Structure 1
């Protein structure tokens, strides 16, 4: 197992649940241990997409719990030879059948728009994703998928009584606040999910004294550390500018000194 995989898994494990209760999700939350123990030496995580890699991590963590008996994961539900959705996982926990959906997101607190619902402020770094959109999709599409006739038909071989299945959500997230704004109220969700800040590219010169590291997306899970290739401000700015011109907001690590690091998004907006 390579070191990157270990660091990514550790980063996933320690990421808290975005929600403190199920009041906002309307479905029970699955709370997993936040402390890293170990990984089997032969552990093999193959996915190169961050969301799918996190699913593998969740499956690994669950399968190592003595109360869990695994059924199936990543079930593609078909209707007339077309995929209409996917169920992330089905398993027994303490002999009770569970349908689990898994989410891992990076959200920034929007300051360009005003909203009546405090949850609307949390958007993806490229402004194409939003917390409220994801919650609606879970409520109206992903969880109801279990009860469709096509799903019942595909699960017949597993001898599962759909009426007995409990549905749960594992929703982890890293949150980023506007640079040097301490007036943001995030009481509705878990403040322990705040991992850093974001700043517009037009203000990037504020960090000209720092070193930069631009991690690949799978490494967004990792806490900044010193053992990477650091770049000076001008080189990093050139690389970041290329993404900005494509309306992408990269995540970067900032090296303040040998012991202090920051995690932030540089946004195109």
Structure 2
């Protein structure tokens, strides 16, 4: 799908929490910019992995705003031949003359009420990661990289000191609730991130789905607004596609077209 549509989907995805701290992490206020179409046409990415592609989107946006400047990006930190990790971005706030270390996160989480603790309930659609695991990694691994001695020479070359750098995270997310779950019960996180719902494969076999059209986008197209979908298939056709995912314990994202202008997004989970 058109990379410009992916970029617009990334931009329109809300931050996972509003201004302030969440479990010790401070949200970076991504600048909102109207990028002219002639400049947007210069957006390219050879990276097919969604996480890497959104890094390109972030850098493209920063490079087309007047407030921030990218000093360094995708900085790999090594101890001899062992990779310790990667720093996503070092920026300079040109307005306030402040340097920033920004970690970029773009996630899709489903809400599983079977967990006792509220924040443990946000997990990846395939149950292989979670919100709290990501927060822990940011706090205990990614942010401390800035203060490693192996990072010192790099910062020195950029005329920076670790102690003067502000650390924040640009954490965007799409949240999916169990179908017919009351979104008002959701605590701590930005409710504007709720993008759809999730069901299991048996629930998808209900009559309410049979009369609609469907499309299952590739992962790099997950941020895209479903209204951009062009190749829609029947209920019988999407069932076969979903069954293939389920047999491999993968949860596909599905777009459903109801009428001419109504769309829904949902995951069909295998568990």
2:90 aligned with 1:82: no
Check whether the contact 1:87–1:101 (CA below 8 A) recurs between aligned residues.
yes
Count of residues in correspondence between the two structures: 265
Instruction: Find the counterpart in structure 1 of residue 266 from structure 2.
Output: 264
| Structure 1: runs of 5+ lacking an equivalent | none
1:98 is displaced (CA, Å) by: 0.8
SS across alignment from 1:253: strand
Which TM-score applies when normalising by structure 1?
0.93
Deviations 1:74-97 (A, max 9, x none): 000001211110000112113211
1:138 is displaced (CA, Å) by: 0.5
- Aligned partners of 1:224 and 1:119: how far apart in 2? 28
1:70 is displaced (CA, Å) by: 2.2
1:228 is displaced (CA, Å) by: 1.2
Point out 4+ residue stretches in structure 1 off by more than 4 angstroms: none
Residues 268 and 61 of structure 1: is their aligned pair in 2 closer, same or farther, counting only changes over 3 Å? same
Instruction: Find the counterpart in structure 1 of residue 197 from structure 2.
Output: 197
1:190 is displaced (CA, Å) by: 0.1
Aligned pair partner of 2:210 in 202, 208, 211: 208
The alignment's C-alpha RMSD in Å is 1.6
- The 10-residue stretch of structure 1 (193-202 or 156-165) with the greater mean CA deviation from structure 2: 156-165
- Aligned partners of 1:17 and 1:256: how far apart in 2? 28
Check whether the contact 1:28–1:169 (CA below 8 A) recurs between aligned residues.
yes
Aligned pair partner of 1:228 in 227, 230, 235: 230
- The 10-residue stretch of structure 1 (28-37 or 3-12) with the greater mean CA deviation from structure 2: 28-37
Residues 67 and 36 of structure 1: is their aligned pair in 2 closer, same or farther, counting only changes over 3 Å? closer
- Aligned partners of 1:37 and 1:191: how far apart in 2? 27
SS across alignment from 1:167: strand
SS across alignment from 2:52: helix
Instruction: Find the counterpart in structure 2 of residue 29 from structure 1.
Output: 27
Check whether the contact 1:13–1:36 (CA below 8 A) recurs between aligned residues.
no
Instruction: Find the counterpart in structure 2 of residue 174 from structure 1.
Output: 174
2:7 aligned with 1:14: no
- Aligned partners of 2:229 and 2:123: how far apart in 1? 31
Instruction: Find the counterpart in structure 2 of residue 99 from structure 1.
Output: 101
Instruction: Find the counterpart in structure 1 of residue 241 from structure 2.
Output: 239
- The 10-residue stretch of structure 1 (91-100 or 246-255) with the greater mean CA deviation from structure 2: 91-100
Check whether the contact 1:201–1:267 (CA below 8 A) recurs between aligned residues.
yes
Deviations 1:167-211 (A, max 9, x none): 111000000010112266113100000011111011111212221
1:21 is displaced (CA, Å) by: 3.5
1:153 is displaced (CA, Å) by: 2.8
SS across alignment from 1:228: coil
1:36 is displaced (CA, Å) by: 4.8
Deviations 1:3-59 (A, max 9, x none): 611110110101110012433242321112456543513222221110111111111
Which TM-score applies when normalising by structure 2?
0.93
| Structure 2: runs of 5+ lacking an equivalent | none
Instruction: Find the counterpart in structure 2 of residue 162 from structure 1.
Output: 162
1:255 is displaced (CA, Å) by: 1.1
